[in-house]
C-alpha cells in the first residue's frame, strides 16, 4: 500500500513526505517540478508529471498500489491569482477534478487536501473556528473553497476526505535539510530572513496603525514539521472515518509582525533592517486558529513555538541563500 503525494517536491509537501516515511508509510511523489525541487524529496520515488495527466496518474496508482492521496499540488500566490485567475482555476480546480476522477476510477477512497485559512477572508472572530463563515477575498482562496465543496459532494460516492485549513506555514526542517526558497516565496518569515542576510533586500512592514496591541497585523505561524505531522494524523483518521472533515491546522497563538521581528532579532543577535510602510489592501488585521477540532478529532497539536520556527528558518536561509540551487 502506497501514499501518493501530489506536489511533494514543494515546501510543505517535502516535509510531509518525510513525516509519512517516518510513520512507516511507502510514498510516491508526483510533481511537475514547476515550483518544486527534486532535491527536496530526499531520495523518495519522484515521478515528474501533472496531476491532470489521467493516464499517468492511473498508471502510478496501479503500479504502486496507491491506497490514499495527499494533495498539495496547486499554485499558491494570492497576488498572481488576481492577475492570472484562469491559471488558478485551471490548475487548482480543473486539474484537481481530473485527479479526483482518476482516483475514483481506481477506487481510491482516502484523500487529504491542502486547504487554507484564506477561505475565511477577514474572520469576524479570532481565534477562528471551522464554524466561521467563509468569505474568500482572492481567486486563490476561492479555488481552495471550491475544492473543499467538491470533496463534500463526492463523499456520497465513497470518497472520504480531510481538508486541512492551514494557517501560516513557516520554518524549515530541524536537521536543516529542507526549507523554503526565499527567491520564490512571498511569505513574511523568508522576507524577514532575507532582510537579515541580504544587504540589498528591503523589508517593509505593511502598516503599524492597526487596532492591535502594537499596531501590526497578527497571524498564526505554524512550524512546517508540525503541519507535516497533521497529514499523517489525517490519514490515520481516514482509516476508519467515512465522511468529509474540514479542520483548522494552526497553533492557536497570534503573533504580531513586531513580535516576529523581535524574535528574529533575538535569534540572529542583530537588528532586522526594515521600514514602516502603508497598510496593504486586503490584509486582515488578526487571523489565528482555534485548533480544538484538530486536537479532539485528529489527535494533533503543534509542538514548536515561535523561537523554534525562527531558529530553523534562520539556520536554513543562512546556509541556503539560493534555496536548493
Ligand atoms: N505555504 C503556505 O503557507 C500555505 C498555506 C495554506 C495552504 N497552502 C497550500 O498547501 C499546498 C502546498 O503549499 P507549498 O507552500 O508547499 O507550495 P509549493 O509551491 O512549494 O508546492 C506546490 C508543489 O506543487 C507542484 N505542482 C503545482 N501544480 C502541479 C500540477 N498540476 N501537477 C503536479 N504538481 C504540481 C509544484 O511544482 C510544487 O512543487 C498548496 O496547495 C497551497 O495552496 C500553503
Position in ligand 1 atom list of the atom nearest CA 166: 6
CB 77 within 8 Å of CB 186? yes
Predicted TM-score (pTM) of the model is 0.97
pLDDT in tens, 277-315: 999 877 889 999 999 999 999 999 999 999 999 999 999
Q: What integer pLDDT is reported at residue 185 of this predicted model?
A: 80
Q: Report the separation in Å between the CA atom of 76 and the middle of ligand 1, taken as the mean of its atom positions.
A: 6
Q: Beta strand pairing status for 255-256 and 218-219?
A: antiparallel
Which of 5, 9, 16, 73 gets mutated to test ligand 1 (max ligand atoms within 8 A of its CB)?
A: 73
Residues with CB under 6 A from ligand 1: 6-7, 9-13, 30-36, 50-52, 72-74, 76, 91, 95, 114, 116, 166, 168-169
Q: What integer pLDDT is reported at residue 76 of this predicted model?
A: 94
Q: Report the separation in Å between the CA atom of 307 and the middle of ligand 1, taken as the mean of its atom positions.
A: 25
Residue 263 sits at φ, ψ, to 5 deg, of: -65, -40
Counting every residue written for the chain, the total comes to 325
Which has the closest alpha carbon to 130: 142, 145, 140, 143?
145
pLDDT of 248 > 80? The answer is: yes
Write out the three cell numbers for 129: 473556528
pLDDT of 67 > 80? The answer is: yes
Q: Which residues contact 43 (CB under 8 A, 6 or more apart)?
A: none
> Which residue has its alpha carbon closest to ligand 1 atom 21?
10
Q: What integer pLDDT is reported at residue 134 of this predicted model?
A: 97
Q: What integer pLDDT is reported at residue 276 of this predicted model?
A: 97
In the structure, what pLDDT confidence band is assigned to residue 184 with cuts at 50, 70 and 90?
A: confident
Number of H-type helices and E-type strands within the chain: 11, 13
Q: Report the separation in Å between the CA atom of 275 and the middle of ligand 1, taken as the mean of its atom positions.
A: 30
pLDDT of 102 > 80? The answer is: yes
Mean pLDDT for the chain overall? 96
Write out the three cell numbers for 121: 477572508
What the chain holds in terms of domains, given with CATH numbers, is: 2-170+222-249 (3.40.50.720), 188-220+252-289+303-319 (3.90.25.10)
Residue 222 sits at φ, ψ, to 5 deg, of: -120, 130
Q: Report the separation in Å between the CA atom of 210 and the middle of ligand 1, taken as the mean of its atom positions.
A: 30
Position in ligand 1 atom list of the atom nearest CA 169: 3
> Which residue has its alpha carbon closest to ligand 1 atom 20?
10
Mean pLDDT confidence for 33-41: 96
| 221: annotated active-site residue | no
Q: What integer pLDDT is reported at residue 281 of this predicted model?
A: 76
Catalytic residue among 11, 88, 120, 140: 140
More confident residue, 73 or 280: 73
pLDDT of 183 > 90? The answer is: no
Q: Count CA atoms within 13 Å of residue 25 on its CB side.
A: 25
Mean pLDDT confidence for 165-175: 97
Q: Report the separation in Å between the CA atom of 155 and the middle of ligand 1, taken as the mean of its atom positions.
A: 24
Amino acid at each position: 500500500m502506497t501514499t501518493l503525494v501530489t506536489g511533494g517536491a514543494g515546501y510543505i509537501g517535502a516535509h510531509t513526505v518525510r513525516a509519512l516515511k517516518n510513520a512507516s508509510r511507502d510514498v510516491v511523489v508526483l510533481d511537475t517540478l514547476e515550483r518544486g525541487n527534486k532535491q527536496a524529496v530526499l531520495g523518495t520515488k519522484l515521478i515528474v508529471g501533472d496531476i491532470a495527466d489521467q493516464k499517468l496518474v492511473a498508471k502510478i496508482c496501479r503500479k504502486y498500489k496507491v491506497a490514499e492521496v495527499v494533495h498539495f499540488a496547486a499554485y499558491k500566490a494570492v497576488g498572481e491569482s488576481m492577475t492570472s485567475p484562469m491559471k488558478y482555476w485551471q490548475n487548482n480546480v480543473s486539474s484537481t477534478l481530473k485527479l479526483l476522477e482518476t482516483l475514483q476510477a481506481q477506487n481510491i477512497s482516502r484523500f487529504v487536501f491542502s486547504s487554507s485559512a484564506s477561505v475565511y477572508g477577514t474572520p469576524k472572530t479570532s481565534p477562528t473556528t471551522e464554524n466561521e463563515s467563509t468569505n474568500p477575498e482572492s481567486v486563490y482562496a476561492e479555488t481552495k473553497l471550491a475544492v473543499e465543496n467538491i470533496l463534500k459532494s463526492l463523499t456520497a460516492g465513497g470518497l472520504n476526505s480531510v481538508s486541512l485549513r492551514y494557517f501560516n506555514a513557516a520554518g524549515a526542517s530541524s536537521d536543516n535539510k529542507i526549507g523554503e526558497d526565499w527567491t520564490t516565496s512571498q511569505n513574511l518569515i523568508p522576507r524577514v530572513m532575507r532582510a537579515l542576510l541580504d544587504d540589498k533586500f528591503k523589508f517593509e512592514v505593511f502598516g503599524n496603525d492597526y487596532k492591535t496591541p502594537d499596531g501590526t497585523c497578527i497571524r498564526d505561524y505554524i512550524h512546517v514539521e508540525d503541519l507535516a505531522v497533521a497529514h499523517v494524523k489525517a490519514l490515520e483518521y481516514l482509516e476508519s472515518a467515512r465522511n468529509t472533515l474540514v479542520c483548522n491546522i494552526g497553533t492557536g497563538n497570534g503573533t504580531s509582525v513586531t513580535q516576529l521581528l523581535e524574535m528574529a532579532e533575538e535569534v540572529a543577535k542583530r537588528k532586522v533592517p526594515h521600514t514602516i510602510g502603508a497598510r496593504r489592501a486586503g490584509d486582515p488585521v488578526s487571523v489565528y486558529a482555534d485548533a480544538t477540532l484538530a486536537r479532539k478529532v485528529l489527535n494533533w497539536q503543534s509542538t514548536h513555538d515561535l523561537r523554534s520556527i525562527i531558529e530553523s528558518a534562520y539556520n536554513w536561509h543562512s546556509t541556503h541563500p539560493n534555496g536548493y540551487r
